[in-house]
Amino acid sequence: MSHTVDDTSAKRTVFILVLAQAFLGAQMPMIFTIGGLAGQSLASNVCFATLPISLIVVGSMLSATPLSAIMQKYGRRVGFFVGAAGGAIGGAIGAYGLYLNNFYIFLLGSLITGIYMSAQGFYRFAAADTASDEFRPKAISYVMAGGLASAIIGPQLVKVTSDAMVIPFLGTYLGVIVINVVGAALFLFIKIPKPEAPSVDSPKGRSRWELLTTPRIAVAVICAMVSYALMNLVMTSTPLAVVGCGFEQNSAADVVSAHVLAMFIPSFFTGHLIARFGVEKIMALGLLILAAAGAVALQGVELENFFIALILLGVGWNFGFIGATTMLAGAHEPSERGRMQGLNDLIVFGGVTVASLASGGLMNCSGGDAVTGWTSVNLAMAPFLMLAGGALIWLMLRPKEA
């Protein structure tokens, strides 16, 4: 007997998460726009300019499993409060590092900021928690679309705050503290039931290794990692490349803004495309668009090349990452949620960490100038796109499981 699933509660949750993604999420484009430039001003060696951004990703990777366990035991709300606290404390320590002109304190702030980045990553899974199978891809997509507002708010706040105080960028980090303290109030209105504690005789679910060796889960994790890592690889170096090629800091902020808009505008229809054409095809399209981004970037270093490449990079990330998240969310049981989602984000942000660390080195230390560095960054995308594309083709050619 078929029945209609009521998604009223899920839609209310999605609305709150969209607001959180929009307001709290604004801190990420703020920090990603100026993190490398601030690092360049503090570091004794320019090869370490993007280390602050890399450490945010390291913090996110290290936080993923503990945060997932907290959410499994105490509920999503508690985990999201922990994330906002991490963002506020990280912003405060980052501001203190800038005030003292101390690179190491600044790096510590970046590491702690990663707790917020990790928590924000769970917004998409929280959207799927109470959603029906039909609404799930749309719920994930809508929450990701909340990033559209953050893409506008973040870079504009950078323009207003980066030179607002005598110490460059200090105002931006003080703004990050305010965003976390005020934005955390949104989670008072979130209602997602805690997963039921397993009874003694309830099935334990698959082990982490069994989950990872499930074909759909393995491919979802690989494609999510590659989509996110390559996006981060190129985006981290973009402000350095734009400024290094003779353009103004505001031009770099505009390119990052266009990129982040491109990351999130497609979210208004990505869920519908997945529902209509299937998740595998949308993921494949995402990987192709990421390849196109690299190709455009390699054609030259005019401002329009940066804009077009970074817009394509954003769209490719959106299709690849939302597709992979949707595939993963439908491939494990609720009892496996805490185990699998934390493991997924540990692997994804592990890949992003490597990409972020490599980005600064490739950009500043692989050649004598910004053009050579930018070329190295974009050429580095190729082997990873082959890995994800090959995994996806393998999955699509496998016989369908009963």
Q: What are the tens digits of pLDDT across the range 226-262? A: 999 999 899 988 988 998 898 887 888 889 888 988 9
pLDDT tens, residue by residue, 255-277: 988 898 898 889 888 988 998 99
- pLDDT at res. 203: 64
Q: CA-CA distance, 270 to 279, in Å (whole number)?
A: 10
In a domain, 310, yes or no: yes
Per the CB < 8 A criterion, the answer to whether 79 and 67 are in contact is: yes
pLDDT tens, residue by residue, 288-316: 999 999 999 999 999 999 999 999 999 99
pLDDT tens, residue by residue, 339-376: 888 888 889 888 888 887 788 788 877 777 889 999 99
The secondary element (H helix, E strand) that includes residue 14 is helix 8-23
pLDDT at residue 199 above 70? Answer: no
- pLDDT at res. 81: 97
Closest CA to 219 of 395, 381, 340: 395
In a domain, 2, yes or no: no
In a domain, 402, yes or no: no
Closest CA to 117 of 63, 77, 157: 63
Structure tokens at 276: 């209509």
pLDDT tens, residue by residue, 141-151: 888 888 888 87
Q: What is the CATH number of the domain that holds 165?
A: 1.20.1250.20
Structure tokens at 334: 């609720």
In a domain, 15, yes or no: yes
Q: What is the sign, positive or negative, of the torsion defined by CA atoms of 216, 218, 222, 225? A: positive
- pLDDT at res. 197: 66
How large is the average pLDDT for residues 161-178?
90
DSSP string over 195-243: PPPPPTTS-----HHHHHTSHHHHHHHHHHHHHHHHHHHHHHHHHHHHH
In a domain, 127, yes or no: yes
- pLDDT at res. 305: 94
In a domain, 188, yes or no: yes
In a domain, 131, yes or no: yes
In a domain, 3, yes or no: no
Cα distances (angstroms) measured from residue 142 to each of 5, 15, 127, 257: 19, 8, 9, 19
- pLDDT at res. 201: 63
- pLDDT at res. 281: 95
- pLDDT at res. 44: 82
How large is the average pLDDT for residues 32-56?
83
Domains in the chain, number: 1
- pLDDT at res. 202: 64
Parent domain of 332: 8-195+207-397
